[in-house]
Homo-oligomer: A and B are copies of this chain.
Amino acid sequence: MFEKIAIIGCGLIGSSILRNINNKISKSVTVFDKSKDVIEIIKKENLCRDLSKDIQSAVKDADLVIFAVPLSAYKEVLLSARDSFKKDAIITDTGSVKKEVNKIFENFNLNNVNWIASHPIAGTEESGPSAGLKNLFKNRWTIICKGKNSNTDKVEKLKKFWEFLGSKVKLMTIEDHDHILALTSHLPHAVAYNIVKTAISADEKFKDEIIKYSAGGLRDFTRIASSDPLMWRDIFIDNSNNIIKILDEFSENINDFKKAIIEKNSEKLLKIFASTKNVRKEIIKAGQDVKSPDFGRKKD
């Protein structure tokens, strides 16, 4: 299907893609990562034979180039790669926000290549190539946002690539993507970081107790709040408009909730809880979670 795939950046996502590539999808695959530690791990785990020494040689002759670097690194990568892209190549990414990086691509005015953004909604709180998983994308959604000059055949080809990795694919506008992800991913992460911060800074006296008794809810937030710091800094800054708007709505809801508990408004509280319980059922029905994701805990 492809002659050569180039993966730029080989952390959790890049290495999970790498683990799926075989000669059914591409004759060859190359990886570039600027971190020596990452390259060491790839060698040690025998994940890829063809490691590129620079971005130019990685993208040269590649008909699919995948940016799997933090959002703040796109510009630097493009500056290195711009003159080495193969004619008609598909350039995609795996980033969690689209508007700002799309601007960067458009400003580069790349002719003869197809910039088509991708976002596989998959990941764990871990990072680095060792954290990659072959089945990370299986049954997960990947959102594709076409660039303004994207060739329809190339969009179809990229769709098939993600499907080969086990993913379901949805086409969406950049605006809808950034809005929906702000709700389903960026808001939960923003809140998780702040809830953990609140718990640990409230009282130095109780620090040990807070760790000890975290099984009542806090530990689940610490999982999300231990996601890759650099990646999340970039996401919050790139999608700040959507996130601020949604955090404002969230704060209004928190204020309503405080009022309800002060007034002992049982009816209002039960109405909120019933509606949120229902969302859980729909998520399980939609195959986006299993009924007991903490199965590993129950065994301990």
Contacts and interface: CB of A to CB of B under 8 A. Distances in A.
Interface of A: 96, 121-126, 133, 135-136, 138-141, 143, 170, 176, 179-181, 183-203, 206, 209-226, 229-230, 232-233, 236-237, 240, 243-244, 246-247, 249-251, 253-254, 257-258, 261-262, 264, 266, 269-270, 272-277, 279-283, 286, 288-290, 292-300
A184 B198 contact: no
Given A185-B218, A220-B223, A233 B266 contact: yes
Give the interface centre of A136, A187, A217, A290 by most chain B CB atoms within 10 Å.
Answer: A217
Contacts of A280: 125, 222-223, 225-226
A55 B125 CA distance: 48
A257 to B, nearest CB: 6
Given A184-B199, A217-B192, A295-B296, A225 B276 contact: yes
A216 B275 contact: no
Contacts of A254: 190-191, 194, 247, 250-251
B251 A251 contact: yes
9 smallest beta-carbon distances between A and B, as pairs: A185-B216, A188-B217, A229-B273, A226-B280, A295-B296, A225-B276, A196-B276, A222-B280, A226-B277
Report the copy number of this chain in the oligomer: 2
Contacts of A290: 296-297, 300
A212 B286 contact: yes
A147 to B, nearest CB: 21
B250 A194 contact: yes
A133 B240 CA distance: 43
A197 B275 contact: yes
A235 B15 CA distance: 44
A276 B220 CA distance: 12
A280 to B, nearest CB: 4
Contacts of A190: 254, 257
Given A176-B209, A226-B277, A232-B269, 7 more contacts: A180-B213, A181-B213, A185-B213, A195-B250, A197-B272, A201-B249, A229-B270
8 contacts: A124-B294, A133-B298, A191-B195, A199-B279, A222-B276, A226-B280, A229-B274, A247-B254
Contacts of A233: 266, 269-270, 273
A228 B209 CA distance: 25
B180 A187 contact: no
B232 A273 contact: yes
